[in-house]
């Protein structure tokens, strides 16, 4: 064989290897017939939540950030569902709209004119143009049985809006600081749970820019005004906080900062999402911290009452596992977290949003799937990433994720918000160069390329609606169902707003109109809907009023149609808070469902009760004597 022929053969072999590798790297696609068959199980009707008129699309920022003001202005849209008017349905909504920096309460479209929508304002508290709301979290923060609201911000610590009277109006809320005096924080995520096991709900906060950084102050010149110090291992962000319930009545005393709860390697990432879930069944929620520019953290909860303590746990890297797809060792851009028992082994699994943009930063979403019910072995977490074979690894520039059963057949679907900044000029080449920049330069905003008003990064991404198809692999049906909402989106809130057994959702879109999607599927399947509440107030003197039993879990022993276990942690992820309720599908023809409910009472004791219920919606009051009693609301 001549040298020229050998060279030509080598070229052909190399080309064949490239083609084969390209084919192997492509995601399998389902046929149009299969996609159509899957889509027939779903139907949604869209209603706007705010105007389609864009009054502005960018914020004033500190001078050092002006060349990247579009990047800095990329967050702020958020949404939450709750029962604010106490009519027994989670048909009220809190929407954060960055176009006018407003926080508005309103009735869900199509649920009646029960009250006039209004705006929440932090009247009487320090508040100016250097502060902007980032999210709204309903909850009973003073434990009086009424739904209050927590609003978190860039530029200041969160504000509590405590409900004082029966009328749902702006004047019915007392406004007070969560911490006294207020601090300059830049908060991007909040989740609620009884982290120390004392029987009261605590608040975990994920902060982004360094504390005291006045990011939105056009006059600010500070050392704290910096960017991350690494694209893959940044630890110079804001300090995450755990605020424990203290029961005080004066502003700033209801919750206390558990300063020693998080070590620096737990708390100093650039956090974009938080999620609480009891992974090991001990009654204490673990905390997943999704960090931008560095490894996510899974914190195993080892707390006792009044003494929070966490341990960083990590996954095992197998022979065929890339380092960045090992739990706790990734170098990706974590932006969302959601939980569900995806493999039906009784242990919650986790899905996580990252950047997965074709021909750009192609990282991977995660699907951390448990390897058995015992998920912890010391500091080892027995979870492996299965996002690629599940078909959910690639999607775009990801944000919030939520999991729910929208078809009512026991199989869950995965919603993902996507998109970063919408403009006219594609700036991915510059961002790819930035990703290769020396870490010693990265923290300095003046070393960044320009990301201004007209620049675009994944600005036309569609939201994803992943549906499980043949063989267990998922496919995105968002376009077929009309829920793709192309353009930057941030958060989802799920809930059965009209109590018909069909799961609805709302989406918060950045710098544009947000929307509510009413589930109008034709199939009428049996279901079990549960509002889980417990007596409000102190252990020694429980109130006749009730409050959502955050952290309660439900296991269906008979009648389940697939997913049989779930936990009540409505606040979690990035910029979306679901209704505090449980909706599970039952097998066709079911006339009863036998369930076990587990919860922690206001004295901190773990309780459980076996209950038999007919299909439909029920309110169960979980009492300190271990009983679960159905009540009428």
213 falls within a domain: yes
pLDDT at 27: 61
Mean pLDDT of 228-238: 95
Residue 105 sits in which domain range? 44-519
462 and 551 share one domain: no
Within its chain, how far is the Cα of 525 from the centroid? Answer: 28
Backbone phi, psi, residue 18, to 5°: -65, -45
Mean pLDDT of 567-572: 97
109 and 138 share one domain: yes
Domain edge (last residue) among 502, 519, 536: 519
Q: How does pLDDT run across 326-360, given as a tens digit for each residue? A: 999 999 999 999 999 999 999 999 999 999 998 88
Mean pLDDT of 155-162: 98
pLDDT band at 511 (very low <50, low <70, confident <90, very high): very high
326 and 464 share one domain: yes
pLDDT at 343: 95
The yes-or-no verdict on residue 19 having pLDDT over 50 is no
**Threshold 0.85, pTM exceeds:** yes
pLDDT at 6: 64
9 falls within a domain: no
**Backbone dihedral region for residue 251 (phi beyond 0: left; psi -120 to 50: alpha; all else: beta):** beta
506 and 396 share one domain: yes
339 falls within a domain: yes
39 falls within a domain: no
Cβ neighbours, 10 Å, residue 601: 19
pLDDT at 471: 87
221 and 202 share one domain: yes
pLDDT at 207: 98
552 and 481 share one domain: no
pLDDT at 13: 55
pLDDT at 22: 42
pLDDT band at 274 (very low <50, low <70, confident <90, very high): very high
What is the rounded distance in angstroms from the CA atom of residue 105 to the CA atom of residue 91? Answer: 11
- Give whichever of 11-20, 185-194, 551-560 has the largest mean pLDDT: 185-194
496 and 566 share one domain: no
Integer-rounded Cα Rg, in Å, for the chain is 24
402 and 542 share one domain: no
Domain edge (last residue) among 480, 502, 519: 519
User: The CATH number of the domain where 194 resides is what?
Assistant: 2.130.10.130
Total structural domains within the chain: 2
Provide the percentage of residues in the chain whose pLDDT is more than 90. Answer: 87
With beta carbons less than 8 A apart as the criterion, state whether 258 and 246 touch.
no
What is the rounded distance in angstroms from the CA atom of residue 270 to the CA atom of residue 291? Answer: 5
pLDDT at 280: 97
Average per-residue pLDDT for the chain? 94
455 and 316 share one domain: yes
pLDDT at 519: 98
Mean pLDDT of 131-148: 97
Residue 605 burial by Cβ neighbours in a 10 Å radius (0-12, 13-18, 19+): middle
The yes-or-no verdict on residue 557 having pLDDT over 90 is yes
With beta carbons less than 8 A apart as the criterion, state whether 465 and 474 touch.
no
36 falls within a domain: no
467 falls within a domain: yes
pLDDT at 8: 66
The yes-or-no verdict on residue 385 having pLDDT over 60 is yes
486 and 566 share one domain: no
With beta carbons less than 8 A apart as the criterion, state whether 523 and 531 touch.
no
Cis peptide before 398 (omega within 30 of 0): no
Domain edge (last residue) among 486, 519, 552: 519
What is the rounded distance in angstroms from the CA atom of residue 593 to the CA atom of residue 274? Answer: 32
25 falls within a domain: no
What is the rounded distance in angstroms from the CA atom of residue 506 to the CA atom of residue 513? Answer: 12
20 falls within a domain: no
The yes-or-no verdict on residue 507 having pLDDT over 90 is yes
475 and 551 share one domain: no
514 and 531 share one domain: no
Q: How far is CA 17 from CA 25, 38, 117, 388, 576, in A?
A: 12, 35, 61, 21, 44
Backbone phi, psi, residue 277, to 5°: -170, 140
The yes-or-no verdict on residue 24 having pLDDT over 60 is no
Lowest mean pLDDT among 66-75, 382-391, 556-565: 556-565
**Backbone dihedral region for residue 616 (phi beyond 0: left; psi -120 to 50: alpha; all else: beta):** left
Q: How do beta strands 616-622 and 628-631 pair?
A: antiparallel
Cβ neighbours, 10 Å, residue 24: 7
Q: How does pLDDT run across 456-488, given as a tens digit for each residue? A: 999 999 999 999 998 899 999 999 999 999 999
């Amino acid at each position: 064989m001549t040298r020229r022929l050998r060279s030509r053969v080598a070229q052909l072999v190399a080309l064949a290897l490239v083609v084969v590798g390209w084919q192997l790297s492509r995601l399998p696609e389902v046929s149009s017939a299969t996609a159509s068959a899957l889509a027939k199980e779903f139907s949604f009707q869209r209603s706007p939540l705010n105007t389609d008129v864009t009054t502005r699309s960018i914020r004033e920022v500190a001078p050092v950030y002006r060349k990247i003001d579009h990047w800095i202005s990329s967050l702020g849209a958020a949404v939450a569902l709750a029962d604010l008017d106490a009519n027994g349905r989670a048909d009220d909504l809190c929407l954060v709209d960055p176009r006018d920096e407003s926080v508005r309460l309103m009735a869900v479209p199509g649920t009646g004119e029960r009250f006039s929508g209004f705006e929440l304002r932090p009247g009487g508290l320090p508040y100016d143009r250097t502060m902007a709301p980032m999210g709204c979290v309903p909850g009973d923060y003073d434990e009086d049985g009424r739904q209050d609201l927590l609003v978190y911000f860039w530029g200041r610590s969160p504000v509590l809006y405590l409900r004082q009277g029966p009328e749902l109006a702006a004047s019915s809320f007392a406004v007070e600081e969560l911490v006294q005096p207020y601090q300059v924080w830049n908060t991007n995520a909040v989740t609620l749970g009884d982290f120390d096991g004392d029987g009261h709900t605590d608040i975990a906060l994920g902060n982004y820019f360094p504390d005291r950084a006045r990011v939105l102050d056009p006059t600010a010149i500070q050392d704290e005004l910096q960017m991350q110090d690494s694209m893959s291992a940044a630890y110079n962000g804001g300090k995450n906080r755990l605020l424990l319930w203290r029961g005080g009545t004066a502003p700033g005393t209801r919750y206390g900062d558990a300063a020693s709860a998080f070590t620096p390697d737990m708390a100093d990432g650039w956090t974009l999402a938080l999620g609480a879930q009891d992974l090991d069944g001990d009654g204490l929620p673990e905390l997943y911290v999704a960090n931008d520019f560095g490894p996510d953290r899974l914190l195993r909860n080892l707390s006792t009452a009044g003494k929070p303590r966490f341990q960083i746990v990590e996954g095992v890297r197998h022979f065929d596992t890339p380092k960045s797809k090992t739990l706790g060792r990734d170098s990706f851009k974590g932006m969302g977290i959601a939980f569900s028992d995806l493999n039906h082994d009784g242990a919650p699994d986790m899905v996580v949003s990252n950047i997965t943009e074709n021909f750009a930063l192609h990282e991977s979403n995660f699907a951390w799937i448990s390897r058995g019910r015992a998920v912890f072995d010391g500091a080892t977490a027995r979870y492996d990433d299965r996002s690629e074979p599940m078909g959910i690894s690639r999607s775009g520039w990801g944000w919030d994720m939520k999991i729910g059963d929208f078809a009512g057949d026991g199989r869950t679907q995965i919603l993902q918000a996507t998109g970063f900044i919408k403009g006219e000029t594609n700036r991915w080449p510059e961002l790819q160069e930035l990703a290769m920049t020396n870490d010693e330069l990265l923290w300095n905003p003046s070393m960044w390329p320009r990301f201004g008003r007209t620049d675009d990064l994944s600005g036309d991404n569609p939201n994803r609606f992943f549906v499980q198809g043949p063989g267990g692999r998922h496919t995105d049906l968002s376009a077929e169902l009309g829920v793709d909402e192309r353009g930057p989106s941030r958060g989802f809130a799920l809930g059965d707003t009209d109590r018909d057994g069909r799961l609805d959702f709302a989406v918060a879109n950045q710098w544009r109109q947000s929307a509510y999607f009413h589930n109008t599927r034709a199939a009428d399947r049996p279901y079990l809907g549960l509002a889980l509440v417990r007596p409000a107030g102190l252990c020694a003197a429980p109130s006749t009023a009730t409050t959502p039993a955050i952290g309660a879990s439900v296991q269906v022993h008979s009648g389940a149609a697939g997913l049989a276990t779930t936990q009540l942690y409505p606040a979690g992820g990035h910029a979306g808070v679901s209704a505090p309720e449980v909706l599970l599908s039952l097998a066709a023809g079911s006339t009863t469902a036998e369930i076990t409910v587990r919860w922690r009472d206001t004295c901190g004791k773990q309780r459980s009760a076996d209950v038999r219920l007919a299909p439909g919606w029920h309110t169960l009051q979980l009492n300190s004597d271990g009983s679960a009693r159905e009540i009428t609301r």
